[in-house]
Every structure is written in structure tokens, then in C-alpha cells.
């Protein structure tokens, strides 16, 4: 009995500790198209009429021969690099004051 109780408590702790880690991960997105340009810190892909510039670094996993003209699918995440909060403005009254 005590052994199964310890096991249940252990499972509960794992679930509770793992939940915030899963929630913190940013949503992933994909873009597919031919490569227009490749540098050490960027891959440029044509998607329809749009040119997508996706940043990359040493941790970016690349499988295959990444070169101009190759068709690729890039998985990426959107992460804020800065946030500027503007002060709230006072609302103007709907009707002008009469004297």
C-alpha cells in the first residue's frame, strides 16, 4: 500500500513539474519554398510573391545540402525580442461642454 502511494505521488509530481515546461514553449510555424539566399546567420526563402528572411545560428539543425535553389521547409518560432508599452491616453468626452 505504501509503495503504491509513493508511486502515485511520484507520478503526480512529474506531471505537475512537466506541465509548466510544456506551456512555456512557443508555437512552431513552417515556411516552404525555394532558397534565394544563404548566409551564416540567415536563410531567404520565396513563398509565393513574398520573400521570407529567417534568422539562424549555430544551433540551427540543417539536414541535406542547403544551397540556393534547393526547396526547403523551415520550422521556426516567433519570439519577442523587445516590448515597448505606451502610456494610456485620456479619452475625450463624446459631447463638447456647453457654457
Can you give the residue range of the structural domain that contains 69? 2-77
| Average pLDDT along the chain | 83
| Residue at 13 is within a domain | yes
* Domain CATH code at residue 70: 2.30.30.140
Please state the domain count of the chain.
1
What is the pairing mode between strands 42-47 and 50-55?
Answer: antiparallel
Domain membership of residue 46 (yes or no) is yes
Q: For the whole model, what pTM was predicted?
A: 0.61
Inside any domain, residue 91:
no
Mean pLDDT of 69-98: 87
Nearest to 44 by CA among 27, 62, 28, 56: 56
In a domain, 84, yes or no: no
Tens digits of residue pLDDT in 5-30: 555 455 555 555 655 555 577 899 99
- % the chain with pLDDT above 70: 69
Check pLDDT > 90 for residue 90.
no
Q: Which residues make Cβ contacts (< 8 Å) with residue 74, sequence separation at least 6?
A: 30, 31, 32, 43, 45, 52, 54
In a domain, 27, yes or no: yes
- For 9, phi and psi rounded to 5 degrees? -65, -40
- Does residue 86 form part of some domain? no
Determine the pLDDT at residue 91: 77
Amino acid at each position: 500500500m505504501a509503495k503504491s502511494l509513493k508511486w502515485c505521488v511520484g507520478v503526480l509530481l512529474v506531471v505537475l513539474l512537466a506541465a509548466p515546461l510544456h506551456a512555456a514553449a512557443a508555437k512552431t510555424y513552417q515556411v516552404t519554398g525555394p532558397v534565394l539566399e544563404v548566409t551564416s546567420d540567415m536563410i531567404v526563402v520565396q513563398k509565393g510573391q513574398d520573400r521570407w528572411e529567417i534568422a539562424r545560428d549555430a544551433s540551427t539543425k540543417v539536414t541535406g545540402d542547403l544551397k540556393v535553389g534547393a526547396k526547403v521547409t523551415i520550422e521556426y518560432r516567433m519570439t519577442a525580442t523587445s516590448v515597448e508599452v505606451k502610456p494610456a491616453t485620456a479619452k475625450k468626452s463624446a459631447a463638447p461642454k456647453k457654457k
